[in-house]
Amino acid sequence: MPSHRSVILAAILAAIAGVVASLYFEPQIASRLASTEVGQRAVASVLRAQAPSPPAGLAVAVPGQPLPALQLSDLKGASNAIPAAWQGQVTLVNFWATWCAPCLKEMPDLQAFATTQKTGGVRVVGIALDEANSVRDFLQTHNITYPILIDAAGPSDASVRYGNPAGVLPYSILVSSDGRLLKSRIGPFLDAQDIARWVAPTD
């Protein structure tokens, strides 16, 4: 007859196997776990351990502190000083690229969320780590109206400076009205409601 300890161990192993099987056969469960605060901390820890060190002297954002200042161009070539350009309004910044399928999948949800925001609501800004021409071609055939800035992907691009050393896309940050990094998110949002929950004040 199996011992009490053996029964408990078998039950634990069965539970673990069940969770693994669920994640394998139901990827949506994995997405939902990754969208939680605990899941995000776990993903961030793994990626930080694997990511290369940022270039020496590169200023990298720290939660609760002002974002490092950058100059990025929009699709018309106009230079934007950030985060100064976002002063006075909480801003959701989404890093993406035209070759990133999860990025493109979540963009309609970001657009839907952006259209619900009244004056003084959360501003949505996209930063494309891509070629400007590719971004223009994409936007001509998609109804994305929130502002898009351009940066070249690389070891010191805007996403790395704003807390994404592994360069994972999509990557989003929430910036306070006075330019501080409030929180970050690795991976796509599930839907517009997920975005609304993520940006909602926790106090």
Q: How confident is the model at residue 202 (pLDDT cuts 50, 70, 90)?
A: confident
Task: Tell me which of 3.40.190.290, 3.40.30.10, 3.40.50.720, 3.40.640.10 is the CATH number of domain 63-199.
Answer: 3.40.30.10
pLDDT at residue 57, rounded to an integer: 87
E strand residue ranges, the chain: 70-74, 79-82, 91-96, 123-129, 148-151, 171-175, 181-186
Give pLDDT tens digits for 20-73: 444 444 444 445 556 677 766 676 666 676 767 777 889 999 999 999 999 999
pLDDT at residue 27, rounded to an integer: 44
Give pLDDT tens digits for 90-135: 999 999 999 999 999 999 999 999 999 988 899 999 999 999 999 9
Count other C-beta atoms under 10 Å from residue 25's C-beta: 8
Residues 54, 58, 64, 65: what is their CA dihedral angle, to the nearest 10 degrees?
170
**6 has pLDDT over 90:** no
Q: How confident is the model at residue 166 (pLDDT cuts 50, 70, 90)?
A: confident
What pTM was computed for the model?
0.80
Q: How confident is the model at residue 2 (pLDDT cuts 50, 70, 90)?
A: low
Looking at this protein, which amino acid is placed at residue 110? L
Which ranges in 26-84 belong to alpha helices (H)? 27-34, 37-50
What pairs with residue 174 in β-bridges?
92, 183
pLDDT at residue 49, rounded to an integer: 66
Residue whose token pair is 């196997």: 17
Backbone angles phi, psi at 7, to 5 degrees: -65, -45
Instruction: Determine the Cα–Cα distance for residues 4 and 2; give it in Å rounded to an integer.
Output: 7
Angle at CA of residue 137, ends 134 and 140, nearest 5°:
150
Helix (H, G, I), strand (E, B) or coil at 190: coil
pLDDT at residue 109, rounded to an integer: 97
Give pLDDT tens digits for 8-25: 544 444 444 444 444 444
Instruction: Determine the Cα–Cα distance for residues 37 and 157; give it in Å rounded to an integer.
Output: 25
| Comparison of pLDDT for 55 and 141, the residue scoring more | 141
Residue whose token pair is 């800035």: 149
| Strand ranges of the sheet holding 70-74, from the earlier edge strand across to the other edge | 79-82, 70-74, 148-151, 123-129, 91-96, 171-175, 181-186
Angstrom distances, CA of residue 194 to CA of 82, 134, 137, 189, 191 = 26, 28, 28, 6, 5
